[in-house]
Structure 1
Amino acid sequence: MTHFLPRFFHPAIGGCQYKNTAEAALDATRVILQQCADSKTVKRVIHTGSMATSSPLREDSTGFKDSIDESCWTPLDVDYPHRSAQFDEYILSKLLSEKELLGYSAGEDSPAFEVVTVPCAVVAGGILQGHPTGALNFVVSPVTRDERYFVALRRLQRLMGSVPLVHVDDVCDALIFCMERPSMSGRFLCSAVYPTLADIVDHFAGKYPHLDLLKETETLPSVQAHSDKLGELGFKYKHGGMQEILDGSIECAVRVGCLDAAKLNIQE
């Protein structure tokens, strides 16, 4: 097979000339678009993105917009509490690659294929892997008391004005929905619910009153979505409640071993 020929390993062994992950992601996106166009058979490109690119922060640093929707793009020059250079680079790579994809359709008079981007909320509720994902660790961090992951939730709350959540099953269904549409293009946020970090902690506090949870100490805004582009096309979330997603995340955390089930039970 051709991918075992020695010459195909040369670019990787020769080294990477990219200055950062954002530059590499952007170039990879351009290569994929070109290869799809060259194939003459690709009809639609569907990109699974991150809602971290969709912050409703105002560009003039005066707080949040009234709601979050597909027109929101994270303003990289606006500061916010708990900001980190590592997360900035993650956002930049996701943002540049998504804009490059959407720009393909906008920049072509007769594009060879449709482009759909699906920026996803924090994917929780369950996993197939035998080990915890970063998103799962984030969601259950108030219960596990893992400060590293809890600060990521605090960071997201201050970037997004909420902690958008979606069940992993709904993400899969949304992508299939995008594949099966006769025609579809553009940007479609994928989030079932927009709780605040305080809402999440309050749910866990009510469920496990005996536990000493990590808590949000500040009163923060709650930014919601006032529209649902996927829903307008007929897509429905099967797991649309915060409680269901959070409880499923706890069950999953127990299953993969990052949370002790005995800790959740009230000791007599």
Structure 2
Amino acid sequence: MAAAGGDKKMTACVTGGNGYIASALIKMLLEKGYAIKTTVRNPDDTAKNSHLKDLQALGPLTVLRADLDVESSFDDAIAGCDYVFLVAAPVNLGAQDPEKELIEPAVRATLNVMRSCVKAGTVRRVVLTSSASGVYIRPELQGDGHVLDEDSWSDVEHLRAEKPPLWWAYCVSKVLLEKAACRFAEEHGISLVTVCPVVTVGAAPAPIVSTSVPACLSFLSGDEAGLDALKGIEKTSGAVQLVHIDDLCHAELFLAEEDAAAGRYICCALNTTVVELARFLAHKYPQYGVKTNFAEDQLLEKPRVSLSSAKLVREGFEFSYKTLDEMYRGMVGYGKALGILPN
């Protein structure tokens, strides 16, 4: 990825380089010929950052210290960048005061990074990674057959009033930070695209993974908390939605480079259910003794609500991983490498 002169690499900043999605995005961008600057809160934490040293073998990768809570701390990382991938966000799920400890910091952090983009003066586009949890929590959707696109927003008033278990404040934070970023971009003339990924699977360089991968391997690992997370997603959203991390990363780059891209994009390759997942994994990996009888849980046989990535596909993107078999290829090996599954 060279500039018109042929001698200067395009430069991208990826925030939160020790995260699951960010680590995979950095790897892909380096392989595509980008020079990368990434941020972490503590560059000296080798347990969280060892993969970044390994990734430097692929191309120019600079690791800088930055804190989402500190204004201007992203200035150096974003200076001179062509693209900024805003991946890092607060995920304080155990907050005692979610409004003050998760929701407000998430909005503040997003705007901190956006301000650094304005200061840089070189940024062609900002790609904000949000979440499909900002799309699908709408209690008025009764019955089957609903298809949601980018015009759908999770109901913040409902979430704040009912405080349903499983990440209600996280869902609110995604809606509010998206809308704040959009307003800021319009006011300051920044080209902003937002990606709303669903539950993400597949291997990434990050050595510590704490969210979607353990949940999707919970059928095999016996992790009840992870399985409860998937059941909670199905209950609140009407399905379990999946995308492979390679597709997500390619979608983010596609939306960065595609001049006509604008607004919000759902990134979802497959709408399934807990029951469908369990049956597939029981057949694929019989040695794990996967439980397939969920009669007591009132789970769905088929998705009641589907998330549509028609907008993304319409603009020229193509998913490479569309089936459960493709999604889970390599997941057992990755689970073993992470220590989630026994060797």
Q: TM-score range by the shorter chain?
A: 0.7 to 0.9
Rounded to whole Å, the distance in 2 between the matches of 1:255 and 1:40 is: 41
- Post-superposition Cα deviations, 1:14-70, rounded to whole Å, max 9, x if no partner, equal xxxx82211011122223333323433222111011111111534x36467711211
1:83 touches 1:155 (CA, 8 Å); kept in 2? no
- Post-superposition Cα deviations, 1:105-131, rounded to whole Å, max 9, x if no partner, equal 5x54xx522110001111112121234
Choose between structure 1 and 2: higher helix proportion.
1
1:94 paired with 2:174, answer yes
1:134 paired with 2:215, answer no
Rounded to whole Å, the distance in 1 between the matches of 2:176 and 2:228 is: 25
Task: Using structure 1 for the length normalisation, give the TM-score.
Answer: 0.80
Match of 2:257 among 170, 180, 183: 180
The size of the alignment, in residue pairs, is: 242
Alignment correspondent of 1:229 = 311
Rounded to whole Å, the distance in 2 between the matches of 1:36 and 1:29 is: 11
Matches within 5 A, 1:89-238: 89-105=169-185, 107-108=186-187, 111-215=188-292, 216-217=294-295, 218-220=298-300, 222=303, 223-226=305-308, 228-238=310-320
1:247 paired with 2:329, answer yes
Rounded to whole Å, the distance in 1 between the matches of 2:288 and 2:122 is: 56
1:88 CA drift (Å): 1.2
- Post-superposition Cα deviations, 1:189-210, rounded to whole Å, max 9, x if no partner, equal 1111111111111101112335
Q: Report the more deviating stretch, 201-210 or 229-238.
A: 201-210
Match of 2:152 among 43, 52, 72: 72
Change beyond 3 A, Cα 1:209–1:56: same
Task: Using structure 2 for the length normalisation, give the TM-score.
Answer: 0.63
DSSP 3-state at the match of 2:270: coil
DSSP 3-state at the match of 1:189: strand
Equivalent residue letter for 2:121? K
Rounded to whole Å, the distance in 2 between the matches of 1:259 and 1:123 is: 18
Change beyond 3 A, Cα 1:227–1:190: closer
1:253 CA drift (Å): 0.6
Change beyond 3 A, Cα 1:63–1:100: farther
Rounded to whole Å, the distance in 2 between the matches of 1:35 and 1:132 is: 28
DSSP 3-state at the match of 2:268: coil
- Post-superposition Cα deviations, 1:176-200, rounded to whole Å, max 9, x if no partner, equal 1011112321000111111111111
1:163 touches 1:197 (CA, 8 Å); kept in 2? yes
Change beyond 3 A, Cα 1:64–1:122: same
CA RMSD of aligned residues (A): 2.8
1:104 CA drift (Å): 3.5
Q: Report the more deviating stretch, 68-77 or 229-238.
A: 68-77
Alignment correspondent of 2:131 = 50
Change beyond 3 A, Cα 1:162–1:82: farther
Change beyond 3 A, Cα 1:260–1:82: farther
1:33 paired with 2:110, answer no
Change beyond 3 A, Cα 1:192–1:211: same
Choose between structure 1 and 2: higher strand proportion.
2
Q: Report the more deviating stretch, 34-43 or 174-183.
A: 34-43
Q: Which runs of 5+ in 1 are unaligned?
A: 1-7, 13-17, 262-268
Rounded to whole Å, the distance in 2 between the matches of 1:127 and 1:165 is: 16
Rounded to whole Å, the distance in 2 between the matches of 1:26 and 1:64 is: 34
2:268 touches 2:308 (CA, 8 Å); kept in 1? no
Alignment correspondent of 1:4 = none
- Post-superposition Cα deviations, 1:221-248, rounded to whole Å, max 9, x if no partner, equal 5122455111111011111222211233
Equivalent residue letter for 2:269? A
DSSP 3-state at the match of 1:30: helix
Alignment correspondent of 2:9 = none
Alignment correspondent of 1:256 = 338
